[in-house]
Amino acid sequence: MVLALIRSTVSQYLKILKEAGLVRSEGGNTMCYCIHWDILAIPRNVLKRMLMQPFFA
């Protein structure tokens, strides 16, 4: 999927994700952003447990 976003918009989103600790950046002149999968696993596992519980207990 390709999104037509302005570079400044992408930079702002990446800044927010980095401040939240969801991505990290590496590099000098050219930045490489990586997802912190271990951090994202926490809410995924919580949501998975919530969805596995019966609605009427």
In a domain, 36, yes or no: yes
In a domain, 1, yes or no: no
pLDDT for position 45: 76
In a domain, 45, yes or no: yes
pLDDT for position 49: 77
In a domain, 2, yes or no: no
Coil vs helix vs strand at 5: coil
pLDDT digits (tens, 9 = 90+) for 10-42: 889 888 988 988 888 888 778 888 888 888 777
In a domain, 57, yes or no: no
- Domain of 47? 8-52
pLDDT for position 24: 86
Coil vs helix vs strand at 23: strand
The reported pTM is: 0.57
CA 6 to chain centre: 19
pLDDT for position 44: 76
Pick from 42, 45, 50: nearest CA to 21: 42
Number of domains in the chain: 1
Higher pLDDT, 54 or 9: 9
Pick from 26, 24, 54, 47: nearest CA to 36: 24
CA–CA gap between residue 43 and residue 24 (Å, rounded): 18
